[in-house]
Each structure stands twice: as C-alpha cells, then as structure tokens.
Homo-oligomer: A and B are copies of this chain.
Amino acid sequence: RQDPYPSRLSAPPPKRLLPRHESLAQQISKNGPLTPTQCADFERDGFLFEESFLGADDIALFQQELDRLLSRDAFRGREFTITEPDSAAIRSLFAVHFLSTAFKKLAFDPRLLGRVEQLLGGQAYIHQSRINYKPGFVGKGFDWHSDFETWHAEDGMPAMRAISASIVLTDNTPFNGPLMLIPGSHQFFVPCVGETPEDNYRQSLKKQRIGTPPEEALRELIDRGGIQAPTGAAGSLLLFDCNTLHGSQPNMSPQPRSNVFFVYNRRDNLCTEPYGAAKPRPEFLAHRPDKNWTPIM
C-alpha cells in the first residue's frame, strides 16, 4: 500500500517535511456560515478562533454536565477515562457524545456542524470526542504533535480531511496551559521516528512519546510561522485542521482548564487498516460512521 504520509519510522527519513496532498483551497466550500475571510484565515493558518461561540447559559450547562460525567463512579478506572501521568486526577473522558445527550446535541449543533462541513467541503461524522479537564496545579502540558499523524498511523485515517473543534468551558489565560498552535504547519507532514509499541494509546494519551516530530522539523516550521495561543473567555470555539501542529503547557493556576473536543472526519475518508501500527486502536478512540458505542457497564 502506497503511503504519502509515512511515519513511525525505524530510521530518520530522507526528508524532514513532506508536502500535504489535500488542498484546503479546493476543499473549502463557499456555502456555509463562515465568511470568505474566515475561510481564508483557516486555509492559511490551519485554524480559526471565534470568541463567544457559546453564551453564558450554555457554558454553565455544559460545565455542569462535564462535572457530572467526571464524578461518575462508574467511569473510574475505565479504559475511556484517562488520568494524569503522575496522579489519579482525571485528564480526559472519551466518547462523550455517546455518554451524554447534552454533548451529543452540541456535537451535532447545526452552527458547529455547518462550519465544519463547510471547511471539509462534504459530509462529516464524528471520529472521536472527549472532554478534557486540566486540573489546577497538576494538569500537565502536551508536547508539539499533529493529531493526523496519530490518526493516520494508529487509526488508519487515509487523508487530511478531518477537523477538530475545541470549545473551552473556562477562560483561557497564559497561566492555565491554553492550546498553542504553529500557523501554517498543516501544509507539511512531518514523518516521525520510532515504531509504534503495542497498545501505545495507553501511554500516549497520558504523555505522548511516539509520533512526536523531530526538533529540526519543529524549528523549521516555527521559524516560518511562529507560535500562537488564542486566548479568550469561556465559550470560545477553536476549529483546527487535523494536521496543524499544536501543544500546551501545564496548568500553573489554581482553577481547572476544561474543554470539550470533537473530531469530524469526512465521510469519504473512512478509516482503514492502520498505516503505522500492528492493530487499530479501540473504538472509543476511533468511531465508525452511523455506529453506536456504549461502554460495557
């Protein structure tokens, strides 16, 4: 099988950066809620930040729902519940659009789905969903990475036709570890060195070791595009391309930093066999279109 995006290599690749094959300019539709300027910004930077996407009532509602889900004893110790690397504090809860009707409604909210399908230029389904909770003081950061690199290597996602939507339910400050992105990095695929260990997700969801770009590639992309950390009040929406490099710092503030996160994949970009792993990851990390998921309780 020919692979335009080889990664998890056993030796350093001949080229640090490979070209992206899917053109956003051709993909993005004129029809939808986003203005031509917003579309052009997304195409150039690989992300789009919108403040006040959710109103105060909705923020309070989803925050309550998030607290309710994170405190459910039945979810403790389950595979879809990820704890911090050095503590028992919950860091992420996956498959939330199946665990919560409120989050399911948000995931398919026409305002959100409309934006996503406009940028994808086609119909979308949810590949992954989660809530993230970065506890005050102990919430760790995440090193630079491309989500597509993992979804391609470990979930078998063929092309760069997926978009992530992150809605923060707490204010972003420079001190609570907001998401940082490298503008323009989505235009290049960075092959990563290191073969995928068995059940890598058990480690990588706490702290990613495999599938992290080499320093020289990061340096080149940051020299080109810099670093941005969109900050704003709770309720803001960040849409970013599946291949935009991003990371975050730890939370040094007393308050948690929580957000909800949906990944939309284009329906004609169905996942196949993994491109860089022996077997696919569990379904709670990589859903199929029109297929329900429920935890075995």
Contacts and interface: CB of A to CB of B under 8 A. Distances in A.
Interface of A is mostly: loop
A290 interface: no
Contact of A252 (B174, B223, B247, B254): B247
Contacts of A136: 215, 219
Nearest to A176: B227
Interface string A174-186: 1101001000000
B218 A254 contact: yes
A175 B223 contact: no
A208 to B, nearest CB: 14
Contacts of A227: 175, 252-253
Interface in A189-246: 215, 218-219, 222-223, 227, 229
Contacts of A222: 253-254
Contacts of A215: 136-137, 254
Contacts of A284: none
Contacts of A219: 136, 254
A121 interface: no
B137 A254 contact: no
A250 B252 contact: no
A3 B258 CA distance: 42
A144 interface: yes
Interface string A15-33: 0000000000000000000
A6 interface: no
A245 to B, nearest CB: 11
Contact of A141 (B144, B247, B250, B254): B250
Contacts of A269: none
A83 interface: no
A81 interface: no
A63 interface: no
Interface string A60-86: 000000000000000000000000000
Nearest to A222: B254
Given A175-B227, A175-B229, A227-B175, A249 B218 contact: no
A252 B145 CA distance: 12
Contacts of A180: 175, 252
A140 B31 CA distance: 45
16 contacts: A136-B215, A137-B144, A137-B218, A141-B250, A174-B174, A175-B180, A175-B227, A175-B229, A180-B252, A215-B254, A218-B254, A219-B254, A222-B253, A223-B254, A247-B252, A249-B252
Task: Enumerate the 6 nearest inter-chain pairs by beta-carbon distance, A residue then B residue, closest first.
Answer: A219-B254, A249-B249, A175-B227, A174-B174, A222-B254, A137-B215
Interface of A: 136-137, 141, 144, 174-175, 177, 180, 215, 218-219, 222-223, 227, 229, 247, 249-250, 252-254
